[in-house]
Amino acid sequence: MLLFLTLIVATLSLGTGRTTILQGAVHLMILAVYLFTTVVP
């Protein structure tokens, strides 16, 4: 599920050619959720 979400967000953010701080924050939040789920199963 996280991989699918990451691919969708990456496609949306890189499709325009420019990224914003908000899109970067979304990527960081996905990373935080991934790290949390690996530490606390």
Q: How many residues does the chain have?
A: 41
Give the pLDDT of residue 26. Answer: 93
**Is 41 a residue whose pLDDT tops 90?**
no
CA angle 41, 4, 14 (to 5 degrees): 125
| pLDDT digit string, tens, across residues 1-34 | 989 999 999 998 888 888 889 999 999 999 999 9
Q: How far apart are CA 34 and CA 36, in angstroms?
A: 5
Instruction: Provide the total of helices (H) and of strands (E) in the chain, helices listed first.
Output: 2, 0
Q: What type of residue is 36?
A: F
Percentage of the residues of the chain whose pLDDT score is greater than 70: 100
> CA 33 → CA 4, 6, 7, 37, distances in Å?
14, 11, 15, 6
